[in-house]
Amino acid sequence: MKKLLISILSIAALLTTTVSCTDQLEEINQNPNAPAVPFIPAYAFYNNAVVFVMDQSRGSFSSGRMALPWVQYSAQRNYTEEDRFQFREGTNQALYTNYYLAAQDFKTVIDLNTDPSTKIANSPYGDNNNQIAAARVMLAYTFLQLVDAYGDVPYYSYGNKDADFQALQSLEGFEKPKFASQVKIYTDLMKELKEAAAMVVTSQPVVFTKGDQLFKTPAKLVKFANSLRLRIATRVKGVVPGAEAHITEAIASGVMTSNADNVGVKYEANDNNPSPFYEDFWISNRTDFAISNTFVDLLKGNLGTFGVDPRLQKYAAPITATKAQVKAKTYVETDDLTKYVGMPYGITSAQAAGQRVGTSFWSSNVLKQDYTEILMEYAEVEFLLAENNAWNNTNYQKGVRASMERWGVSTVKITAYLATLAPANQANVITQKYIALFMQPYEAFAEYRRTGYPNTLLQPGGTYNLNNPISGVTTYTFIALNNLTAMPARFTYPVNLQQLNGDNVTAAASAIGGDELDTKLIWAKQ
């Protein structure tokens, strides 16, 4: 139903664009017996596009079989080829296409609030400027996912009519849009977020009077725009001119200051519109995923520089918890670390069958109907501040505390953990950010490529321990597929783009240094 609704809304958006530019000749040629195009308010496009973005980027294919295992939050219990970087082309095509479907609907929100024929009709549902600002911010978020994943991509900007920005404009003659450069895209994303925040009418009580899944208040929208600008500017500083100024401006303009500012889609506590992984696990019965041994060992203090992390029990269920108990939330958390066992990462599918028994599922905090898929949270902002304040220890500790509080760790355990926390430096701050970004795999994927941290991830070609219930501990070698010797540096362009827009795909591939999995983006160090 969600996919059907988003398709209907996308078609309606195109219809609205087509019929809004009428002249006398078109009026003469109109069929009086044809059904009228129904009025669909902008908030309907906005709300459904927000949910669609999260549904289509955080599910068992778009996330669970791509970025989620690559950053080793998870390991598959059955088909491990995808853990070893042999992703399905259909998954790649769907991810790419669905981002643009959502972007089209965010653009429709702008069109409906700027076109004189529809602007007044939409004003009862929120200040027109606030609706436009929210759509601009979400367009920035959506295109950030695209450029971070692929590099140069077709791009649309509300406030910049650069000739290279041709996405979402097929009715204006751009059926085969150019691929804009990464430098141009990241530069414009920061500009769009700055301008969107500035146009918000903060005196209004809400952004949308109906359907707002994310912000509710204009103040929260502004903080998200500034925080997202801080994320982007930190990623491209030293690479994209002007990024450092955006860092200073975003912080001064007001970023997230508590977990109350976290931005995410909270799903419904029912089986009609539950969270993506709840639907996959319990409705589709695809229990293919377990928390990885790499991540469990990091949280146990067996890897890196940290002690036992009390988020372990919040992220993972004990091995004594049955599938039914995880669903019903009836198991008991325990401090017995032997009860938390990760699935070995990087093994073959044949080896997986003998390893999945006795490994931990994700916890009930994750596999629940009304789970909140996070777009950005306060903890991340504190880690960004720590980095931009010369690896500041106070910001770093605030980030760890915020993450633990969000996941419900007790005050006593938080205080004890912080008392022995290794001091702030690049490795420790980025690794703690990685722990806090659990279940936000695409941001963790970007940060690993940017920094090389955490340096605890298992690497292709490495030899690691494998538990054998008969012979005891044995070893295996993590063999990546697709001839890779490291984690992918990007996604390749979907194959079907060669038929749809071949010349521009070829030009983009040449511009970035080749359409290969190991082609690095402009900010990547790994």
Contact 446, 486 (CB under 8 A): no
Same domain, 235 and 383: no
- Whether residues 129 and 245 fall in one domain: yes
Structure tokens at 400: 């760890």
pLDDT class of 14 with cuts at 50, 70, 90:
very low
Q: How many CB atoms lie within 10 A of CB 349?
A: 15
Q: What is the pLDDT of residue 39?
A: 83
CATH of the domain at 188: 1.25.40.390
Q: What is the pLDDT of residue 361?
A: 94
Q: Give the least confident one: 38-47, 248-257, 292-301, 439-448.
A: 38-47
Alpha helix ranges (H) inside 283-392: 293-300, 312-315, 323-328, 349-352, 378-388
Q: What is the reported pLDDT for 173?
A: 83
Is residue 46 located within the same domain as residue 144? yes
pLDDT at 1 over 50: no
Rounded Cα distance, 181 and 138, in Å:
20
Q: Where are the alpha helices (DSSP H) in 407-489?
A: 411-419, 426-436, 441-451
Domain presence at residue 449 = yes
- Whether 23 maps to a domain, the answer reads no
C-beta pairs of 141-146 under 8 Å, 24+ apart in sequence = 141/53, 141/228, 141/375, 142/53, 142/99, 142/102, 142/103, 142/106, 143/99, 143/103, 143/185, 143/189, 144/189, 144/228, 144/232, 145/53, 145/57, 145/99, 145/442, 146/96, 146/99, 146/100
Average of per-residue pLDDT across 387-409: 98
Q: Cα separation of 416 and 335, whole Å? A: 14
DSSP characters over 30-74: --TTSPPPPP--HHHHHHHHHHHHHHHHSSTTTIIIIIHHHTTSE
Q: What are phi and psi of 278, to 5 degrees?
A: -60, -45
Tokens of 250: 């975003």
SS3 464: strand
**What was the pLDDT predicted at 526?**
80
pLDDT, tens digit, for every residue of 454-501?
Answer: 999 999 999 998 876 555 678 999 999 999 999 999 999 999 999 999
Is residue 15 predicted with pLDDT exceeding 70? no
**What pLDDT sits at residue 469?**
59
Q: Please tell me whether residues 280 and 255 are part of one structural domain.
A: no
**Digit-coded pLDDT (tens) for 421-449:** 999 999 999 999 999 999 999 999 999 99
pLDDT value for 473? 75
Question: What pLDDT is recorded for position 236?
Answer: 98
Between strands 263-266 and 463-468, the pairing is unpaired
Residue 207 shares a structural domain with residue 315: no
What pLDDT, in 10s, does the model give residues 331-343?
999 999 999 999 9
77 and 158 in a single domain? The answer is yes
- Domain co-membership, 109 together with 7: yes
Of 149 and 26, which is predicted with more confidence?
149
What is the pLDDT at residue 471? Answer: 58
**Is 170 found in the same domain as 240?**
yes
Q: What pTM value is reported for the model?
A: 0.93
pLDDT tens-digit readout, 307-336: 999 999 999 999 999 999 999 999 999 999
Residue 246 and residue 264: Cα distance in Å, rounded?
Answer: 24
**Residues 280 and 252 placed together within one structural domain of the fold:** no
Q: Are residues 199 and 347 in the same domain?
A: no
| pLDDT greater than 50 at residue 2 | no
- Of the candidates 92, 101, 94, which has an alpha carbon nearest to the alpha carbon of residue 168? 101
> Is the residue at 428 inside a domain?
yes
- Supply the mean pLDDT for the chain: 92
Same domain, 348 and 452: yes
Mean pLDDT of 165-177: 91
- 286 Cβ partners below 8 Å, 6+ apart? 60, 280
pLDDT band, very low/low/confident/very high, at 32 (cuts 50, 70, 90): low
Q: Which residues contact 488 (CB under 8 A, 6 or more apart)?
A: 70, 85, 482, 517, 518
Residue at 24 is within a domain = no
Closest alpha carbon to 95 in 48, 61, 140, 70:
61
Structure tokens at 379: 């903890």
- pLDDT bin (cut points 50, 70, 90) of residue 172 is confident
Q: Is the model more confident about 15 or about 521? A: 521
In percent, how much of the chain has pLDDT > 70? 92
493 domain-assigned: no
Q: Which domain holds residue 151?
A: 2-17+40-259+499-512
Residue owning tokens 């039914």: 324
Tell whether 250 and 166 lie within a shared domain: yes
| Number of separate domains in the chain | 2
Q: Are strands 463-468 and 472-477 parallel, antiparallel or unpaired?
A: antiparallel
pLDDT digits (tens, 9 = 90+) for 240-277: 999 999 999 999 999 999 999 999 999 999 999 999 99
Res 19: pLDDT:
33
Structure tokens at 186: 């990241």
Q: Tell me phi and psi for residue 291, to 5 degrees.
A: -65, 140
**pLDDT > 90 in the chain, percent:** 86
Judge whether residue 18 has pLDDT over 60. Answer: no
> Does residue 397 register a pLDDT over 80?
yes
Q: CA–CA separation, 487 vs 127, rounded Å?
A: 45
- Mean per-residue pLDDT, 140-151: 98
